[in-house]
Amino acid sequence: MTTSLFSDLLVIDCASFIAGPAAATVMSDFGARVIKIEPPGLGDSYRNLFRLRGTPDDIDYFWALDSRNKESLALDLKKPTARAALETLLKKADVFITNYPFPVRERLRLRAEDVLPHNERLIYASLTPYGEAGPERDRTGYDTTAWWARSGLMDMVRSTPEAEMALSMPGMGDHPTAMAMYGAIVTALYRRQVTGKGGVVSTSLLANGVWSNSCQVQGALCGYELTGRPPRGQRGAMGEAYKTLDGRDFILTTTNPARDWPLLARAVGHPEWLEDERFDTPQARMSNTPVLVALLDEIFASDTFESWRTRLDAGGITFGVVGRVDDHISDPQLEAIGLLPEFEDGYGLRTVDSPFQLAGVEKVRPKMAPAIGQHTRQILEECGLAPGEIDALSA
């Protein structure tokens, strides 16, 4: 068997839903052994999320994504024998991840002060909705509440100040937060390499939401009064979205209008606009934005997106298609960068890879996510439990 970068690491995923467990998933992509601890019977509540979206019960796609490569250990941590098995694992583990609310951690003896005495080299990774201290320390929350809504993103990311606010998509804030947790864990592993000691790392959905909205928050900290977006036709024609003949939307963007305006005028076949007094200066273009947007609307609607893609690329214009989820299935760019690898045991089913690579380092071939308690007996045997003890615990 080929040795992977993290093949000597044991990670205990004692968390639920996405942000904490997904950090363990990234570690598993680089070969770490990840043991997922979940309650017997129903398992992690995340297993049921896809059903709430009215999806047929054939493939739990949420679970397949965030629990790939893991082993499932079903334990009722209120039972003494189960607790003893956990403590055996803790003595061997490198990382322990949890996002249970603090009252639950106290009840199950999963706080840092309960866990770390079993292993001085252990990294205790704590994920919370609102942080480790303060009046909201014990509040429950998900990315839609603590990352999307609380951070101000939900309020600011709408087409106009009067437009209805949009709900976030599942995992939209959880997966970036998982990357912050992964970074914290790897930083702590480096510190352990230097000092020989483990310790506590933490992050929160709120901290990551504010970081995601930090350009605007920094503006507020500097005393600026930030308003919402002006309506379409008033934002500047070179930072607007347009629709093509075949119904595809794309968005233009520029950080240097003086350079990009001549490129755009030529790319759309109207070099005479460079001499047009309505558009020949930045001030004139801004004053006549509704006129210019209307002209570009008509021009872009006259041909297909693929045709415009060719012309805009050739013209040196920065733009991006407004992607649809189904686009990714056959996207040649995603294929080229290997972002949708096949499961080793998934009969052709693919998944979404974690979003970074190390040159010269191969990730493991993803394996399908486990059933509830699929590896319980095997892991308990490794913990030294006799067959009779395992049978009694299972009963």
Listing DSSP states for 272-314 in one string gives GGGG-TTTSSHHHHHHTHHHHHHHHHHHHTTS-HHHHHHHHHH
Query: And the tokens for 383?
Result: 């913990």
Query: For each of the chain's 395 residues, which pLDDT tens digit applies?
Result: 468 999 999 999 999 999 999 999 999 999 999 999 999 999 999 998 887 766 666 789 999 999 999 999 999 999 999 999 999 999 999 999 999 999 999 999 999 999 999 999 999 999 999 999 999 999 999 999 999 999 999 999 998 888 999 999 999 999 999 999 999 999 999 999 999 999 999 999 999 999 999 999 999 999 999 888 888 888 899 999 999 999 999 999 999 999 999 999 999 999 999 999 999 999 999 999 999 999 999 999 999 999 999 999 999 999 999 999 999 999 999 999 999 999 998 889 999 999 999 999 999 999 999 999 999 999 999 999 899 988 888 87
Q: Is the dihedral of CA 125, 131, 136, 137 positive or negative?
A: positive
Alpha helix (H) ranges present in 99-213? Answer: 102-108, 112-115, 153-156, 174-195, 205-212
pTM: 0.94
CB-CB contact of 362 with 4 (8 Å): yes
At 125 the three-state DSSP class reads strand
CB-CB contact of 317 with 261 (8 Å): no
What are the structural domain ranges in the chain? 10-214+342-394, 237-326
Rounded Cα–Cα distance for residues 146 and 148 (Å):
6
Say whether domain 10-214+342-394 belongs to CATH 3.40.50.10540: yes
For 237-326, give the CATH class. alpha beta
Q: Return all residues near 30 (Cβ < 8 A) that are at least 6 apart.
A: 4, 5, 6, 358, 361, 363, 364
